Amino acid sequence: MATGRAGEEGCAVLRPVAATAVREHAGSAVARTLAVLRALRELGPGPHPLAVVAARAELPAPTAHRYVRALAREGAVEQRGPRGHYALTETPHRSTHLVDEVTDTKVGQTSPALRAELVTLQSRTGQVSLLYAPLLVGAALRFCIDRAVGAHAAALEAAPRSALRRLWSAPLDADAAGLAILACLDGTSSPGAPLDRIREQGHAVGPSPLPEWESIAAPVWRGSVPAGAVALVAPRRQLRGAVARTRCVHAVMDTAASMSGLLTRTRVRHAG
């Protein structure tokens, strides 16, 4: 599998916002979003002028303004104090999805090595495979950073747009992928959610945002830190049989283990 600097840079995307370096990925929508969030976090509490936020994020002021406004509409950022001053939202809350300006659903957000694992999962199962990273600032979300759809492109194109948006980004408690991440976060308490079972079994199963589809997901780790989740979504009728479901669960968990190994080895190299 691919290694080296390209792999290390791609792996860096699959980290929680609180620990993500994004400047080397300034060409992607996800990276620009994270750059703005990181800038606000590094500037500290209180409102900050847009020009200062833009400079800290290393983005042109108009670009930073567009992303700040999109984040404000989703509740992660708020305008406070003098005109043109922004701050991170202090009260966490849930959001249904990130708007189009914030969510980048294009492939290529990961390293070649992680991408190869995702494509292998799709080929092995014949279903749609997705890789998610957590966004833990403001609304706690999981968002898709890469996917392999195989022969299901037409089915996805025909799906309701609202369902697709939830597939690309949604609160952590919305589906199996988010719950797989949520179950691994320190100090999480979500009454009614099957988090203990997910921790014990190492995977989550549940309805997909796509109507009549199911989702199977497993957490991806970077050492002892949850870095995201890999998920497989398939038409419900194709997972009704115990054999088919078990095969897909094993495939997802194998992929999660391989990705975790890649990310952990990258972390060890950086630490050395």
- In the prediction, which pLDDT does 11 show? 45
Q: What is the pTM of this model?
A: 0.64
pLDDT per residue rounded down to tens, the chain (272 residues): 444 443 443 444 454 433 333 333 344 666 777 788 878 877 877 899 999 999 988 899 999 999 898 888 767 788 888 889 998 876 433 332 222 222 233 444 567 888 899 999 999 999 999 999 888 766 688 888 888 998 998 999 899 989 998 998 888 989 999 999 999 987 665 555 588 889 989 999 999 999 999 999 999 998 988 899 999 999 999 999 999 999 999 999 999 999 999 988 865 454 44
- In the prediction, which pLDDT does 109 show? 52
Q: In whole angstroms, what is the distance from residue 148 CA to residue 175 CA?
A: 19
Q: Which domains does the chain have, with CATH numbers?
A: 5-88 (1.10.10.10), 112-271 (3.30.450.40)
- In the prediction, which pLDDT does 212 show? 96
- Crossing angle of helices 29-43 and 61-73, rounded to 10°: 90
Q: In what order do the strands lie in the sheet with 225-235?
A: 169-171, 141-148, 128-135, 225-235, 213-222, 204-207
The token duo for 74 is 């989703």
Closest alpha carbon to 61 in 72, 50, 69 = 50
- β-pairing verdict for 225-235 and 213-222: antiparallel
Residues with Cβ within 8 Å of residue 203, at least 6 apart in sequence: 176, 180, 216, 217, 218, 249, 252, 253, 256
